[in-house]
Structure formats: structure tokens, C-alpha cells
């Protein structure tokens, strides 16, 4: 059989054209099917110092400010440490008791006259000297701390990663917290080489009651999923909308929110204490209960042994998977999480131990 001159080259050329056409179609589909990012990333900060363990300062007293309507928290999900208003000064022990009055009406008149002539007490005292007021609602007349001033400056936590997933895991991770005015961004990046790379980002507002997430996005092996949290509802990746619970956080904002609550006394960080947190994730919104089972020493590579409180979640009534996150918060390091353990299932896990903490 005679060979047709140039047939091989023609077939090869046609094959190449078909392959290039398929590649172009697949690239176009991937570009259009990939969910568009809803984030507005902040510029990378310049961090100038490292922090080391120090004795924690007492919780600050915040200046009373009216919270925006959308940010009001019912405090149902968390218990608060309370402070007691100072009692008014007592008269000296040697002072003679007042003489009895002739009648009840005259006593009432005398009391009214004394009250009118006395200097007006601050609102926090007028509310009742025996009352107990949550810290975030206190109105100390001498307090000048603005609610934004007690949030940390830009902070980066670098972690050493170990664990098990079909074999031993080794890698690194970073958590970056940034704020500009009353806007924040919190982001975690995990790198385990070719096996896994992922990032999770939360953006939103800082309000008097705490963080108010507006966007959460996670990127795992180039697969992007995001949720949008507006004033009253949460839009999930499948387009479904659910009601937004008061005080709800996302997977990443919860780390910063809890550290702030512990640092300010909003939530008691003590062994035996339990508290609830609403969490919004791409799979849905659930109420999680956290226990504080123990205070332990966490050995860190560069900061040495650090005392930290272990925060362990209870599985929700209808869990959406097997992933559970345990956290260890250190009072001597601004209540930041010095250890994070991501339990994938009974055998597989990722363990993060803090190596370095930098701040602006």
C-alpha cells in the first residue's frame, strides 16, 4: 500500500490543534466556573517587634458607647465576668446618728432636701451601688478607653506544623490579624507541601460588642468557597440564606474574638467554665459549646514553656462532619492561641505550635 506523502505530519498537526482547542475550552470553563473572590484584601503590614510572655494586665474598663443596631449582642452565647460598682463612702464611726424625726412625712421631706442638695452621682452609681454590671456595659466616669484601643495591632503568629494524614505531616502555618480603623482582616495559611495548601480569610467590622464578620472565604487546593454575612442573614455557597444569630463568628474570626473576650473579661477563662459560640461555615450555621477542661504547660520552640488554657468543643447535636478544632489560649501572650489542633477524624489530625509572634 502506497504511503501518502505528508499524511503523518498532517495527522500530527490536526491532533495538536484538537488538543489545544480542548485545553482552551477547559481553561475557559475553569476560569468561569471558579467562584469569584468576594474579599478585599488589605496590604501586608510591616511588623517591627516580637512579643514574649509577660504577666497579663487586668481587663480594661471601656468607655460606654452606643453600639450600632446590627452589632447588638444578646450575650446568650457567652457568660461574662462582671464588675461591681464601687460602694459610696460610709460616714465615720464616731459620727452621731441622726435624731429621730417627729413623723414620716417630715422624714420624707428631709430626705428629699438632702438628696437635692447633694452632688449628682454618676450614672453608673445611680443605677444602684449593689448592682452587678457586665464589663462591656460598664460606665466608669473616669474611663477614657475607646473600644477600638484595646484590640491588638497588626499581629502575625507563625506556627510549626505536625500531625498525621496517611503518614506523618510536617509544615508551617501563619495567622495574620490586621485592622484599619474599625475594619479587620484575619487570615490563616497552611502549607504542607504537595499534600495540602489552604487559606481561610475573614473580613468585617470591629464593633463595641465584638467582631462583626461580613465575608468568610476558604481556598483549599484551588477550590474556593465563601459565605457572605449581611445585617440579618447569611448567604451560603449554595445560595441558601439563613438567619444571622447575634454574635455569630466564622472559622477564623472566632480565634480573635475569643482572645478579645478572654482579655477583656467578657468570658471567663478558667478551668471548669463552659460557653457557647455561634459559628458560620460554608456547610451551615451551628451553635457550638466549648469547655475549659484544664490549664496546661505548652512547650514552644522559641518562647519556652507557656501556661495556657485548653478550649475543647463539644460536637453539635447534628454535626456536619468530623472536623473539630481545639485551642490553647495563653494569658501571658495577650491571650493569643499558642496551640491549635485540627482533628480531622479519629486517626488524622494537624497540630500547630506557635514559634514566633510579631506585632506592629
* CA dist., res. 154 & res. 358, Å (int): 8
CA–CA gap between residue 332 and residue 334 (Å, rounded): 6
- Give one DSSP letter per residue of 201-267, joined into a string: EEEEEEETTEEEEEEEEEEETTEEEEEEE-SSEEE-TTS-EEE--TT-EETTHHHHHHHHHHHHTSS
Confidence (pLDDT) at 271: 97
Q: How many residues are listed for the chain in this entry?
A: 360
Asked whether residue 79 is assigned to any structural domain, the reply reads: no
**Average pLDDT per block of 10 residues along the chain, 360 residues long:** 61 60 49 61 84 81 50 38 37 46 43 42 32 33 68 94 89 94 94 81 96 94 90 95 96 95 92 95 93 97 96 81 87 96 87 96
pLDDT number for residue 47: 87
Instruction: Note the pLDDT of residue 316.
Output: 75
Give per-residue burial for 213-240: e unless 16+ CB within 10 Å, then b.
Answer: bbbbbbbeeeebbbbbbeeeebebeeee
Report if residue 51 sits inside a domain. Answer: no
For residue 203, is it within any domain? yes
| Predicted pLDDT of residue 13 | 63
Q: Which residues of 155-185 are buried (b: 16+ CB within 10 A; e: fewer)?
A: bbbbbbbebeeeeebebebbbbbbbeeeebb
Residue 35 · residue 218 · CB < 8 Å = no
Residue 179 lies in a domain: yes
Note whether 190 and 196 are within 8 A (CB).
yes
Q: How many domains does the chain have?
A: 1
Q: Is residue 136 assigned to a domain?
A: no
> Alpha-carbon dihedral of residues 164, 166, 170, 174, nearest 10 degrees?
-70
Is 157 within a domain? Answer: yes
Q: Report the run of H or E that residue 306 belongs to, with start and end.
A: strand 304-314
Residue 116's pLDDT is 43
Task: Note whether residue 4 is domain-resident.
Answer: no
Residue-level pLDDT at 176: 96
Confirm whether 197 is domain-assigned.
yes
pLDDT of residue 315: 77
CATH of the domain at 159: 2.50.20
Q: Which residue range(s) make up the domain with 325? A: 153-359
Amino acid at each position: 500500500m502506497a504511503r501518502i506523502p505528508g499524511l503523518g505530519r498532517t495527522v500530527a498537526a490536526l491532533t495538536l490543534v484538537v488538543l489545544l482547542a480542548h485545553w482552551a475550552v477547559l481553561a475557559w470553563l475553569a476560569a468561569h466556573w471558579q467562584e469569584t473572590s468576594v474579599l478585599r484584601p488589605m496590604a501586608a503590614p510591616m511588623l517591627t517587634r516580637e512579643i514574649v510572655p509577660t504577666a497579663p494586665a487586668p481587663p480594661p474598663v471601656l468607655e460606654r458607647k452606643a453600639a450600632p443596631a446590627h452589632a447588638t449582642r444578646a450575650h446568650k452565647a457567652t457568660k461574662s465576668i462582671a464588675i461591681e460598682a464601687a460602694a459610696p463612702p460610709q460616714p465615720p464611726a464616731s459620727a452621731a446618728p441622726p435624731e429621730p424625726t417627729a413623723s414620716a412625712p417630715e422624714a420624707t421631706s428631709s430626705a428629699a432636701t438632702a438628696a437635692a442638695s447633694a452632688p449628682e452621682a454618676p450614672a453608673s452609681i445611680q443605677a444602684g451601688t449593689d448592682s452587678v454590671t457586665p464589663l462591656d456595659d460598664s460606665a466608669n466616669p473616669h474611663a477614657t478607653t475607646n473600644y477600638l484601643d484595646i484590640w491588638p495591632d497588626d499581629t502575625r503568629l507563625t506556627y510549626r506544623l505536625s500531625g498525621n494524614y496517611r503518614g506523618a505531616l510536617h509544615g508551617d502555618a501563619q495567622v495574620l490579624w490586621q485592622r484599619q480603623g474599625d475594619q479587620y482582616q484575619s487570615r490563616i495559611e497552611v502549607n504542607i507541601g504537595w499534600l495540602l495548601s489552604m487559606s481561610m480569610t475573614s473580613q468585617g467590622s470591629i464593633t463595641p460588642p465584638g467582631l462583626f464578620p461580613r465575608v468568610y472565604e476558604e481556598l483549599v487546593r484551588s477550590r474556593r468557597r465563601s459565605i457572605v454575612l449581611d445585617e440579618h442573614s447569611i448567604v451560603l455557597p449554595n445560595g441558601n440564606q439563613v438567619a444571622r444569630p447575634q454574635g455569630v463568628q466564622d472559622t477564623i474570626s472566632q480565634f480573635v474574638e475569643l482572645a478579645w473576650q478572654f482579655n477583656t473579661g467578657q468570658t471567663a477563662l478558667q478551668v471548669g467554665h463552659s460557653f457557647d459560640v455561634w459559628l458560620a461555615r460554608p456547610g451551615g450555621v451551628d451553635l457550638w459549646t466549648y469547655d475549659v477542661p484544664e490549664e496546661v504547660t505548652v512547650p514552644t520552640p522559641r518562647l519556652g514553656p507557656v501556661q495556657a488554657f485548653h478550649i475543647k468543643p463539644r460536637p453539635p447535636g447534628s454535626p456536619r462532619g468530623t472536623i473539630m478544632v481545639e485551642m490553647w489560649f495563653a494569658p501571658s501572650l495577650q491571650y493569643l492561641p499558642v496551640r491549635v489542633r485540627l482533628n480531622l477524624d479519629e486517626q488524622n489530625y494537624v497540630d500547630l505550635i506557635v514559634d514566633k509572634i510579631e506585632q506592629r
